[in-house]
């Protein structure tokens, strides 16, 4: 039986254990929300900044005839769906730590990504991105890394994710890029310190702000080798 939260007007669909606590999938009218340890993580309402995450990468790679893309964090599928609209994309590797998020992406959230997980160009790796990026057994390299696994470099879902955004983490990410490749990172807040770290390791760095209905604009960092 689904539990109705009368204070928020949401319908709890499922509550599951996660790698670092618990995840909740809940419905609010026609939309869905994912909550991590009581903290709002994402929903299906907009997705403009998540789509910008890949559009900016494609714009920086406009001279290449075919593309291999890594999407870090499946979320509700907006980034993956946008990646598949680009005809040059031959492969998208989705790295998602939570198997339940992948299952929801094939279930109640499938319509928001246009069933993107069923596209033959897509492969899914159920793994912690921080560990996977550094794994000596993983040699794959990509034209673009599009990361949305946290609320931002300064607002991580887990403490361990912070190492993805420090100097060593950026070095590991850059090593996964093909020559001329692009790293894009989504954030719910500005992070001048992170932008400075990017500028110390990438040839060109831009910061895009995306207005949202409430609060600070979302931010997409774009860094090209």
Parallel, antiparallel, or unpaired: how do β-strands 67-72 and 142-147 relate?
Answer: parallel
* Residue recorded with tokens 């403490």: 159
Which tens digits make up the pLDDT trace of 124-150?
Answer: 999 999 999 998 777 799 999 999 998
Tell me the per-residue pLDDT of 145-196, one tens digit each, with 9 for 90 and over: 999 998 899 989 888 899 999 999 999 999 999 999 999 999 999 999 999 9
Summarize pLDDT for 10-24 with one digit per residue, the tens: 899 999 999 888 999
Residue 140 in 3-state DSSP?
A: coil
User: Where exactly does CATH 3.40.50.150 map onto the chain?
Assistant: 48-224
- CATH class belonging to 48-224: alpha beta
Torsional sign, CA 45, 104, 58, 199: positive
The pTM (predicted TM-score) of the whole model is 0.91
């Amino acid at each position: 039986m689904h539990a109705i939260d009368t204070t928020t007007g949401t319908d709890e669909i499922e509550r599951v254990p996660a790698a670092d606590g618990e995840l909740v999938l809940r419905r609010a009218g026609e939309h869905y929300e994912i909550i991590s340890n009581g903290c709002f993580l994402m929903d299906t309402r907009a997705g403009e900044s998540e789509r910008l995450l890949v559009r900016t990468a494609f714009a920086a790679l406009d001279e290449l005839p075919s593309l291999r893309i890594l999407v870090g964090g499946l979320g509700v599928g907006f980034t993956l769906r946008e990646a598949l609209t680009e005809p040059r994309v031959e492969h998208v590797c989705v790295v998602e730590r939570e198997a339940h998020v992948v299952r929801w992406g094939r279930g109640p959230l499938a319509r928001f990504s246009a069933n993107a997980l069923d596209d033959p160009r897509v492969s899914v790796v159920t793994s912690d991105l921080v560990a996977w990026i550094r794994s000596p057994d993983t040699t794959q390299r990509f034209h673009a890394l599009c990361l949305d696994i946290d609320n931002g470099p300064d607002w991580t879902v887990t403490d361990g994710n912070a190492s993805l955004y420090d100097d060593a983490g950026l070095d590991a990410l850059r090593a996964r890029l093909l020559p001329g490749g692009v790293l894009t990172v989504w954030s719910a807040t500005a992070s001048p310190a992170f932008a400075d770290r990017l500028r110390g390791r990438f040839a060109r760095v831009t910061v895009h702000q995306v207005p949202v209905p409430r609060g600070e604009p979302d931010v997409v960092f774009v860094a090209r080798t």
